[in-house]
Amino acid sequence: MRQRRTVVQAAMPLFAGLLVGLLAALPFLQVPGLPAGTDMELHIHRIAELGTSVRAGALYPRWAPNFYHGFGYPIFNYYAPLTYHMGYWLTLGRPELAAEAARLLYLLVFVAGAVGAYLLGRECGGREAGVGGGLLGALAFSFAPYIQFFNPHIRGDLAESLALAALPWALWGWELFWRRGGRLAIALAVGGTGAVFLSHNLTGLTCVALVGALCVWHWKGRHHAKMRGAIHVAGAFVFLTAFFWLPFLVERPAILLDVAGEGHYDFRNHFVPLSELLAPMRPIDRRAAAPNMPMTVGPQLVLLAVLGLALAVWRRGVRSAFQELGFYAISALLLAWMVLPGSRLVWESVPGLDYYQFPWRFLGPFAVLLVPLIASLAGTHLSRIPAVSRVGRGALAAVATVIILLGAMPAFYPLPWESGFGLITPQTLIDAELEGRWRGTTSTNDFVPTTVDIIPGPQESVLASYATAQIDRVNRVTLPDSARVRPLPDKPWVNRFEVQSDVPFVLRLFLFDFPGWRADVDGIRVPIEIARPEGFVTVSVPAGEHTVTVRFGSTPARSIGWALAAVGLGLFAWLLLRSKPWSSKPIAMHESQTLAPVLGIIFALALVMAWKATIADPQGLFVVTSPPGEATVAEYQQRASLGAEIALLGYDLSTTALRPGESLDVAPYWQAQRVVTRTYQSFVHLVYPEGTIWAQSDHLNPAGHPTNLWPTDRYLRDKHTLRLPPDMPEGTYLLVVGLYTLEDNLRLPVETATCGLRVDSIVFCQPIMVRK
């Protein structure tokens, strides 16, 4: 019996992860393929690109040879690589199946995140939370809006999703280390933190900060003697990951990384007001081209977290509850505040924080920090009478489960997507770049070598060679008449040529230079000269017959990084060998006090999902479809036609009265009336009636999509943020919107409007009041 109970205890996290994780991933199981129009396509292409080099023998590629129109660039030297390595291995050595691997990886992410949250909730939800606390923790994490919906369905950031799934594991590992120690704790602390750090750069930095704060919390609390051991474990993590962070830091000056600044990637444009942060999720209009969902933390989760903390204080006392849950409550409050406009001064003052770009990125770690707070509900005794306490704990866990699931119900109904991306080949990558949506799977030229003064356009000879068996990067226009250059088959990171020429000449390649490129002629090292302004590689070749090889290899920083990683592996092994075996925390599943919350959760889970299948789905309770040519979800209805091409259907306002220095969110609803062939830019101006512009916002791609790609049967919500100057006078202001072309600055004329008609703009009917 005891052995059977031990097996059940060991299998419970996996069972919980499969149940809760796959339930949260239900849309991915119901519809083939993956959401389109998100960053998911970028991650699919990166999996395929990295896989091409791994299959050719480079176990850790740093160069992407087929990106940037075939010029190549070093994205894998700087972007956390674990997601793409995992994706490639899921293709079973066939990188052309990257889309299917990404889909499978997302399912694994949901399951792994749920398992990690279960383990964190069971460990930190209190001494009596047990399996019920683990299940509540898994539910709270998996059905958090950012985890279940925003990242996978709106953003498509597979790398960040993987990092967030690993974050509960990292925190659980460090909690085990401080509470009980042992080999498993060390392995999880190092492995979990490393998995987050190597999955997504920014989430990795957030994880390191949280782990550091957690260690200080325990050290200052009641585990003073373990700080030295914690430093050793942290050292193992630092050394083990040196192969990534050391080349990043040393070779950072070799690339452009202009991912922060004005425009879409300016953090000032992405704060979330408290009213939106605490707004409930709402049904998605099927007439929308992209979901219009508030960037919410999930008010139901906040409510349960506050309730869990309050009940813990009531039952255990302030001191005990603070020791167990204080770190998570304080950290969650801090991260939530960092998303709000009130934290702007911190964002502007802390160096490097602007690289986060979007303050709402912290909603992912925030969801993890709520896990122990909500899990503590399963360990709360509402009465000293055992029978009443059992019923109370079961009922409380069931109610919490119902609240979590009902609050997340709109996320079960995302906008439908197409069946899939098909096979991904180098030609597919080239074609995607030629469509103009991105280059090198980035949109801000980040990771391009600094030796590139001007981004060159695609070269026809290189593009044409992708249709053949041998990619040709030779600039043949510059060859002498007597020169013959034939590319030879080799590895993706090796460019080898058979050269014959009667005169010496400079071999010019359509290949970006970067630290690590080496050139040799007949096996003898020769210098590489950089052709400016494009930053291409050139090699001087003497007259005669030669074999020229340009190969991408290591650098001192990369070699030292691998050496430090080897040292870290030795330190890690030494820590494991000298540590005591880990003994699991006993979980008395046979006790009715512990079993009651589990039964309550399972009952509530079955009840809600049965209600969804038999009532919500047939009646379409969470599906909204506006009539054609309308946006019924718009707060203010106002119609206008611009150039008989694009229609204004309405708009949303975050407020109609505000003070100088505050921000105003304005979201026009646009719809293409016919196929749009030009790319228009949108503007929103806040003006006095006499025409003085006091605040304005322009979008290069309205609603984040080029207008020439807009569908004609769906609308788009184009959210702008206006920051009012602190010295603007009181008064009644008007909002003026319109569309224009960037190349000639000509506005699209307005043909009809229900109100506010101007020749080349529209005045919203709703005025804005500014009062000091």
pLDDT beyond 70 at 263: no
pLDDT beyond 60 at 654: yes
Secondary structure class of 420 (helix, strand, coil): coil
**pLDDT for res 171:** 97
Residues 300, 260: Cα–Cα separation, whole Å: 33
pLDDT beyond 70 at 348: yes
pLDDT band, very low/low/confident/very high, at 592 (cuts 50, 70, 90): very low
How large is the angle between the packed helices 98-124 and 363-375, nearest 10 degrees? 40
Residue type, 155: R
| Mean pLDDT for the stretch of residues 601-605 | 93
**pLDDT for res 587:** 45
Residues with Cβ < 8 Å from 614, sequence gap 6 or more? Answer: none
* Residue range 143-198, pLDDT digits in tens: 999 999 999 999 999 999 999 999 999 999 999 999 888 899 999 999 999 999 99
Cα 351 to Cα 260, 272, 346, 569, 645, distances in angstroms: 12, 21, 9, 32, 44
Longest dimension (CA), the chain: 100
Query: For residues 154 and 290, is the Cβ–Cβ distance under 8 A?
Result: yes
534 vs 393, residue with greater confidence: 534
| Mean pLDDT for the stretch of residues 678-699 | 89
* Residue range 82-96, pLDDT digits in tens: 999 999 999 999 999
pLDDT beyond 90 at 221: no
φ/ψ of residue 392, rounded to 5: -65, -45
pLDDT band, very low/low/confident/very high, at 645 (cuts 50, 70, 90): very high
pLDDT beyond 50 at 746: yes
Six-digit token string for 145: 């809006």
Query: For residues 138 and 25, is the Cβ–Cβ distance under 8 A?
Result: no
| Mean pLDDT for the stretch of residues 216-222 | 85
Query: For residues 188 and 169, is the Cβ–Cβ distance under 8 A?
Result: yes
**pLDDT for res 333:** 97
| Mean pLDDT for the stretch of residues 736-742 | 92
**pLDDT for res 583:** 54
**pLDDT for res 597:** 86
pLDDT beyond 70 at 1: no
**pLDDT for res 319:** 87
| Mean pLDDT for the stretch of residues 312-335 | 91
Residues 342, 358: Cα–Cα separation, whole Å: 15
| Mean pLDDT for the stretch of residues 118-130 | 85
380 vs 474, residue with greater confidence: 474
Q: Exposed/middle/buried for 476, CB within 10 Å: 0-12, 13-18, 19+?
A: exposed
**pLDDT for res 420:** 73
* Residue range 268-316, pLDDT digits in tens: 888 998 999 999 999 999 999 888 889 999 999 999 999 999 998 988 8
Residues 574, 3: Cα–Cα separation, whole Å: 31
| Mean pLDDT for the stretch of residues 408-425 | 87
**Mean pLDDT across the chain:** 90
Q: Exposed/middle/buried for 309, CB within 10 Å: 0-12, 13-18, 19+?
A: buried
pLDDT band, very low/low/confident/very high, at 541 (cuts 50, 70, 90): very high
Residues with Cβ < 8 Å from 92, sequence gap 6 or more? Answer: none
| Mean pLDDT for the stretch of residues 313-333 | 91
Cα 360 to Cα 269, 451, 634, 638, 703, distances in angstroms: 11, 34, 23, 30, 18
Pick from 92, 686, 198, 706: nearest CA to 438: 706
Sign of the C-alpha dihedral, residues 533, 535, 541, 547? negative
pLDDT band, very low/low/confident/very high, at 717 (cuts 50, 70, 90): very high
**pLDDT for res 688:** 86
Residues 306, 376: Cα–Cα separation, whole Å: 11
pLDDT over 90, % of the chain: 69
DSSP state, 255? B
pLDDT beyond 90 at 461: yes
Q: Which of 21-25, 64-68, 581-585, 724-728 has the lowest mean pLDDT?
A: 581-585
**pLDDT for res 386:** 61
**pLDDT for res 589:** 40
**pLDDT for res 593:** 46
**pLDDT for res 700:** 86
